[in-house]
Amino acid sequence: MVYVKDGAPIIGVNALHHPNRQRFTIAHELGHYMLHRELLSSEVHVDKQFKILMRDTNSSTGTDAIEIEANKFAAELLLPSFLIDDLLANSTFDIDDPEPLEKLAKKFRVSKQMLEYKMRG
Ligand SMILES: [Zn+2]
């Protein structure tokens, strides 16, 4: 969750979650703070469960659009495109081979799903 109190942003994470999940949560909430600050002055934004919302679909609601933006922000923060582009340009990385994908996800401390999402662009 994230909220703003007396002008100061406060982000809360569940300490029982996997560290990668906590990193993603913090990045996601930072996204809300950077992109949707006006919403946070009047309410506490609580994210209970992250849906895999990265791409806009026809069925996306207004709330979904905000979550998609925060997810994109988090993905870019944790896995900057310039690093991914570099990696793909300078190696024979096979995105369909699960082993190097897993290694790389560990290195970046993100989920395999997120790495795959970023790599497939
Ligand atoms: Zn959110």
Please list all protein residues whose beta carbon sits less than 5 angstroms from ligand 1, which is an ion: 47, 67, 70
Question: What is the mean pLDDT of the segment spanning 35-52?
Answer: 80
pLDDT at 57: 57
H or E stretch covering 100:
helix 98-108
- Residue 114, domain extent: 79-121
96 and 63 in a common domain? no
Question: pLDDT grade, residue 55 (50/70/90)?
Answer: low
Total structural domains in the chain?
A: 2
Q: Tokens for 12?
A: 């809360």
How far does the centroid of ligand 1 lie from the alpha carbon of residue 29, in Å? 6
Same domain, residue pair 105 and 66: no
Distance, CA 77 to ligand 1 centroid (Å)?
15
Shared domain check, 68 and 20: yes
Is 27 found in the same domain as 16? Answer: yes
Q: Same domain, yes or no, for 7 and 65?
A: yes
**Tokens standing for residue 53:** 């919302």
- Assess whether 47 and 66 both reside in one domain: yes
Count CB neighbours of 66 within 10 A: 18
Label residue 120 by pLDDT band (50, 70, 90).
confident
3-class DSSP state of 97: coil
